[in-house]
Structure 1
Amino acid sequence: MEIFDRNNKPFYLSVVFLSLFLTHGSFALQSQNEKFELKDINQIKDIGSLDVSKDADLIAYTVSSVDQKNDEYVTDIWMLNFKKDRDKLIVRSAYSPKFSPDSNYVAYLAPGRGKYSDYQQLWFFNTKTATKRQMTKIESSVTDFEWSPDGNRIVMVINIEPEREDEGETQKPYVIDRYQFKQDNNDFLDESRQHLFLIEIARRKLTQLTDGSSNEIFPSWSPDGNRIAYVTKIGDIDRHDNWDIYVLKLDSNENPIQLTTHLGADSQGSRPQWSPDGKQIAYLYGGDPKLLWYAIQELAIIDLDTRTSSIITKQLDRNTSSPQWSEDGSSIFFVIEDNMKSQLAKYSFLDQKINTVTPPDYYLSGWSKNYAVRNGKIGLILSDLNSPDEIFFVDGKNLQQKSHQNAEFLSKKIISQTETISFTTDDGEEIFGMMVKPHNFDPAKKYPLIIRMHGGPVSQYGLHFRFDWQLFAANGYIVMAMNPRGSSGRGFDFQKVIFADWGNVDADDVSALADYAISLGYVDPQRLGLGGWSYGGMLTNYVIAKDSRFKAATSGAGISNLLSGFGDDHYIREYILELGTPWDNTEDWLRNSNPFFSAGNIKTPTLFLVGEKDYNVPLIGSEQMYQALKHLNIPTQLIIYPDENHSFSTPSYNEDVLRRYLDWYEKFLH
């Protein structure tokens, strides 16, 4: 498609992946044996962070799996050796592997030994001797780190906590005076702060670089090793999201230099990236902070001498992430999100063209840690509609699959093919999505339908494997999912349309999907189901309050009465920016709380599920809707998972969620 650069010069989003071909056989392994079963959720392995050695002969990456005996998820580090064609587990219970510049070591994070076992420490794995060494011994957790260019030092982000209470003592009361005082996964917020520290590897000497009331994150070394860029926000940090990039000169008493001055989230969620000559930094430009997550994340470059920024993806109108320079500085690689796709792209300074590097039917997952550019070779984490994430390698010509963590398991399973779909709403908007049909599908039959809705709200369903869809299809359901208005991947206007107007056009799009499904002729209009988690659970509530055709719904971690979220969840800044205060804008708050105040219209049997300690979308949201439907004698049930946050950390609970989905749909759709 034709787009325009910041100087209004036309340039083109070209496609180069046609020259790529996949080696080592087909990525999707179509099996001929068994349908997916509920217990299979514990067999899927998840590929996480990845790093490539300098000579591109080794890739270190993480694999998360289920330890059923202890009912927990474990993350291990594996290493791919291309020369020896070997994939081997090297460190158990560890994460965030990063090669030293000479590739002799892999630094990583893992719990320490002895009295440091409650804290994440920095460790080294020797790639020659396969020995491990704990590098830090501090009663604080290391949360992030980066090697210096010469490999002699490492900058770390360390979480400095208030003094812990002795075990056995009566717990002290919470004393709260912060504006935002809760956060999911952290419960009540204390005065913990993340600061930068420097460790000299030879002497293991630790030096604190920053302090104070702010958090300093995403450190990044200059090529000469004399400066460190990092991201922080200052002032009353609970009341704003104005993140900026600062540069700290080492061996100097000068104060850090504020590099960016845009009133918004600069480089939030992504590490600033120095150009090879050290004259520029690539980063994410966050857009208007008043628009929250509805703003487009753009790729920008700032000149360190003039401190002027230029946005190089201005006219793409798509979210970007994970920028990284090519080795010669002639281009920048980044991830682009576009209509169910997530691809690696490359911006060339020579001709100002943007080329996609990975094929559109492979979904690229991850952030700055999830791929690396070394000597023109790139390590990737890719999935497609029929296979979970695996490690791939591309050198400009060949796309090669290198890991096969899920291959043996999938080879024994029947994978229902996922199709892409599109339909047009009554007001003329084209909506895109996906459909999974049961195995041995017969178009002459009528099937029950389950519509699944994503969270966010500004996110998207991508073209990648989803176990729950396969499980539903294996149990005889047609599964449909789509990206309604308000989703990402379709540009600013598409995702902003639901700003301060939740459950309106996006709920209409869900009903339009049901219309489309029925029009195909093989969906039973009397057996329509839907469900989702987070905003997907909220949207479920909005839909059933407007459309009584659905015979079963599952609402996970949702809220319907937004007034109950004010002060009870962690979105106080976002509420004020999007809706204003409840006392000044009562009508807007009530309109967006429609499912609760229109609960008398709901006829759909609905299952509510939530984590007990969810401070993202708290328990009260599900409790109130359950109570309303119970009072109205609508079939309903509330499932509360002990000690769980918004995302569950206990495998048996995640399995239980799917079991209850199946039981609920079986009860009301069959």
Structure 2
Amino acid sequence: MEPEDAYSIKILSDVRLTEKGLLHVETYIENNKYKSSIFLNKKELLSGSVSHPIFKDDYLYFVEGEKTNSLIKQGEYGSKVSLFSLGKIIDYTFHVKGILIIGEEKADKKLPFEANTIKYRFDSRGLLRSRRSLYLFDGKELRKIVSGNFDVTAVATNGKRVIISSTMSGDDYNLSDIFEVNLDNGELKRITEGEGEVDAIAMNEQGQIAYLGHRKGKQPWATKEIIFPEEGKSVICGNTCGNNVLSDLFDGSKDKIVFEKDEVISEGQTKGSTNLYKISDNKAEQITEGKIVVKGFDYTNGKLAYYYTTPEKPSLLYYNNEIYDPNPNVKGKTPEEINNGEIEGWAIITGKNNPIILFIHGGPHTAYGYSYFIEFQFFANNGYNVIYCNPRGSQGYGEDFAKACVGDWGGKDMEDILSFTKKVIEKYNLSGKIGVTGGSYGGFMTNWIITKTNMFSAAISERSISNLVSMCGTSDIGFWFNAIESGIDDPWTQENILKLMKISPIYYVKNVKTPTMFIHGEEDYRCPIEQAEQYYTALKMNGIPTVLVRYQGDSHEHARRGKPNNMRDRLQRKLEWFNKYLK
């Protein structure tokens, strides 16, 4: 398999049920660009750089554009009308007074920038020159309703009452709350109490509110629930609401909930699967089945449509008891489940004498599972045994399990990974050389594990972490995330600086004997490229075979939503590195 083949797939998103039938979007790569097409009842309506289709009063509305976004209104037989433009349109919905929009103004990136908050840049957004605001378009004028040095992250309305989620109260730490908005004067009434996260919001026709999130403060490992803040109720779906199962599909999906009448529909994760749940009468009922990962859905008038992924299929759409497959000629190799005690894992075995690649996921509070992985299939089709697991710290196995690596990165989690690897080798009597790779926290673990063992003949560390101290001052979230994950409050005391150094891979770099490739996006603000530069320089000075691959214009998402040519180049370079040292 060639990298071009690996990325020649179509990915579903933006599923929406309408009075005219089912709208959905398909995204694909063409000429080094992401392109999208809008479909109605599986028939293509238009293509280009389009998203967020909605039918309203016989008109099709959608967002169009690359460098700037316009909201387009199009009649069945009429020409397109551009209603307004912004630097970016995140979402929109309809109200009796007009269209409510979450968007960003276009900013001049050439002007000097003055930082005056701790969080002044953010991964995939760059310097925060413009923030996400709530706008109202009344048919003539686009008016800003809620704005400031924070983000409006979601909006919901029943056509009259309006709520938003916003980082107004805790922007530096990515904490969010729900506010009711008076559209006439912009006044806000805070609805949530305490501190926590709001990942998705919804309102039913009666004006009742539900959201997906938690109120446990700065706890990245916290189990999420469906919360009814004005009723003091909450319900959990599976082991956690929402979806934390990773894939490298370029769909950009995020958590969503639908609130209709007295029912809330939400994704819920249990171990490596994500299914849909219906919440009513303070109970959650699972309404989809299977070892699948639901990525998005819509629900109205008792009808359900959803798109999902499996290890063999990148993207499938379910509606009216039919399954639509935009990639009928694609069928991935099926992984075998391997449980090592409470640790769930998988293996794609291509031959007992073939080399092995151990993949380590990021987060750490995410998970591998039953989703299609472009990279797994690419390496399996190029003669590698692919293995991966969910060590302690992974989400989907309960909050205690997710919290088990906090203050102990590189401890029990590494033990789980190594024990799983040894079990797979014994189970299948594998004799090939072993490589290791991972990104973000998986890059940390790759950097860490090669200081503790020489069992790996090659390593590839992506968007990685090598120095938890310097990351506290350079990452968009490092100043609080690294501290909390390391079990400390203040990262800037002498005692805690030393503690952070002693749990940093760079502290033990003299132990490394493994040839290691580093891959990093130049514009990664989550794990800045200086993390790779430090480790690369240290290995060079110690005479260990190493290279540093830098991708211009790519963020922390370089392996999921990077520039298409960079993503193809990345797979080719990884293959060549592992071929060199493992075959």
TM-score (norm 1): 0.80
* CA offsets 1:396-422 (integer angstroms, 9 cap, x no match): xx3x213x3211x42xx6x42222211
Match of 2:113 in 1: 174
Match of 2:574 in 1: 661
**Quick one: structure 1 residues 208 and 357, their matched pair in 2 at CA, closer, same or farther if it must change by over 3 Å?**
same
Query: Is 2:450 aligned against 1:529?
Result: no
SS of the residue 1:97 aligns to: strand
Match of 1:283 in 2: 211
Letter in 2 for 1:423: N
**Quick one: structure 1 residues 197 and 600, their matched pair in 2 at CA, closer, same or farther if it must change by over 3 Å?**
same
Match of 1:502 in 2: 409
Query: Is 2:388 aligned against 1:481?
Result: yes
1:310 pairs with one of 227, 230, 233:
233
Which ranges in structure 2 are unaligned for 5 or more consecutive residues?
Answer: 243-254
Query: Contact conserved, 1:45 with 1:63, CA < 8 A, in 2?
Result: yes
2:339 pairs with one of 403, 422, 443:
422
* CA offsets 1:546-599 (integer angstroms, 9 cap, x no match): 121111111111011112212211112323444431324123202321x21111
1:188 pairs with one of 127, 131, 140:
127
1:336 pairs with one of 268, 290, 313:
268
* CA offsets 1:264-289 (integer angstroms, 9 cap, x no match): 22x2x31x2113322x2111232322
Letter in 1 for 2:26: V
Match of 1:159 in 2: 104
Match of 2:465 in 1: 559
Query: Contact conserved, 2:35 with 2:47, CA < 8 A, in 1?
Result: no
Which ranges in structure 1 are unaligned for 5 or more consecutive residues?
Answer: 1-35, 81-85, 112-116, 166-170, 425-429
**Quick one: structure 1 residues 256 and 323, their matched pair in 2 at CA, closer, same or farther if it must change by over 3 Å?**
same
Match of 2:423 in 1: 516
Shift of the alpha carbon at 1:355?
A: 1.9
Match of 2:245 in 1: none
Query: Is 2:108 aligned against 1:108?
Result: no
Match of 1:3 in 2: none
Query: Contact conserved, 1:232 with 1:246, CA < 8 A, in 2?
Result: yes
**Quick one: structure 1 residues 212 and 604, their matched pair in 2 at CA, closer, same or farther if it must change by over 3 Å?**
closer
Letter in 2 for 1:286: H
SS of the residue 1:588 aligns to: helix
Query: Contact conserved, 1:98 with 1:106, CA < 8 A, in 2?
Result: yes
**Quick one: structure 1 residues 353 and 596, their matched pair in 2 at CA, closer, same or farther if it must change by over 3 Å?**
same
SS of the residue 2:34 aligns to: strand
Q: Distance in 2 between matches of 1:363 and 1:131?
A: 38
Query: Is 2:9 aligned against 1:60?
Result: no
Q: Distance in 1 between matches of 2:111 and 2:83?
A: 34
Query: Contact conserved, 1:287 with 1:296, CA < 8 A, in 2?
Result: no
Shift of the alpha carbon at 1:348?
A: 2.6
**Quick one: structure 1 residues 385 and 239, their matched pair in 2 at CA, closer, same or farther if it must change by over 3 Å?**
closer
Shift of the alpha carbon at 1:515?
A: 0.9
Match of 1:48 in 2: 13
Match of 2:138 in 1: 200
Query: Is 2:381 aligned against 1:381?
Result: no
Letter in 2 for 1:142: I
Match of 1:545 in 2: 451
Match of 1:460 in 2: 367
Query: Contact conserved, 2:105 with 2:131, CA < 8 A, in 1?
Result: yes
SS of the residue 1:233 aligns to: strand
2:192 pairs with one of 240, 250, 260:
260
Match of 2:250 in 1: none
Match of 2:515 in 1: 605
Match of 1:587 in 2: 498
TM-score (norm 2): 0.91
Query: Contact conserved, 2:35 with 2:49, CA < 8 A, in 1?
Result: yes
* CA offsets 1:237-269 (integer angstroms, 9 cap, x no match): 543444211112345x5832211122222x2x3
Match of 1:28 in 2: none
Letter in 2 for 1:663: E
Shift of the alpha carbon at 1:130?
A: 6.6
Match of 1:300 in 2: 227
Query: Contact conserved, 2:16 with 2:298, CA < 8 A, in 1?
Result: yes
How many residues are aligned here?
A: 563
Query: Contact conserved, 1:227 with 1:250, CA < 8 A, in 2?
Result: no
SS of the residue 1:623 aligns to: helix
Query: Is 2:297 aligned against 1:371?
Result: yes
Shift of the alpha carbon at 1:339?
A: 0.4
Letter in 1 for 2:304: I
Query: Contact conserved, 2:14 with 2:25, CA < 8 A, in 1?
Result: yes
Structure 1 residue runs of 4 or more that deviate by more than 4 Å after TM superposition: none
Query: Contact conserved, 1:447 with 1:522, CA < 8 A, in 2?
Result: no
Letter in 2 for 1:37: E
SS of the residue 1:77 aligns to: strand
Match of 2:527 in 1: 617
**Quick one: structure 1 residues 473 and 130, their matched pair in 2 at CA, closer, same or farther if it must change by over 3 Å?**
farther
SS of the residue 2:6 aligns to: helix
2:91 pairs with one of 144, 151, 162:
144
Shift of the alpha carbon at 1:118?
A: 4.1
- For the aligned residues, what is the CA RMSD? 2.2
Shift of the alpha carbon at 1:317?
A: 4.4
Query: Contact conserved, 2:269 with 2:275, CA < 8 A, in 1?
Result: yes
If asked which structure has higher relative contact order (CA below 8 Å, sep 6+), I would say 1
1:274 pairs with one of 189, 199, 203:
203
Q: Distance in 1 between matches of 2:212 and 2:516?
A: 41
Letter in 2 for 1:657: R
Match of 1:135 in 2: 83
Q: Distance in 2 between matches of 1:642 and 1:393?
A: 40
Letter in 2 for 1:561: N
Match of 1:95 in 2: 51
**Quick one: structure 1 residues 466 and 58, their matched pair in 2 at CA, closer, same or farther if it must change by over 3 Å?**
same
Query: Contact conserved, 1:510 with 1:543, CA < 8 A, in 2?
Result: no
Letter in 2 for 1:277: Q
Q: Distance in 1 between matches of 2:299 and 2:313?
A: 24
Query: Is 2:47 aligned against 1:120?
Result: no
* CA offsets 1:130-158 (integer angstroms, 9 cap, x no match): 7422111x46433221123x6x7211123
Letter in 2 for 1:129: Y
Q: Distance in 2 between matches of 1:609 and 1:211?
A: 37
Query: Contact conserved, 1:72 with 1:650, CA < 8 A, in 2?
Result: yes
Q: Distance in 1 between matches of 2:4 and 2:151?
A: 41
SS of the residue 1:501 aligns to: coil
Percent identity reads 26
* CA offsets 1:192-238 (integer angstroms, 9 cap, x no match): 2222222234xx3333322444433311112xx22211112335x54
Q: Distance in 2 between matches of 1:503 and 1:462?
A: 22
Shift of the alpha carbon at 1:175?
A: 2.7
Letter in 2 for 1:50: V
Shift of the alpha carbon at 1:629?
A: 1.5
SS of the residue 1:617 aligns to: coil
SS of the residue 1:456 aligns to: coil
SS of the residue 1:325 aligns to: strand
Query: Contact conserved, 2:88 with 2:103, CA < 8 A, in 1?
Result: yes
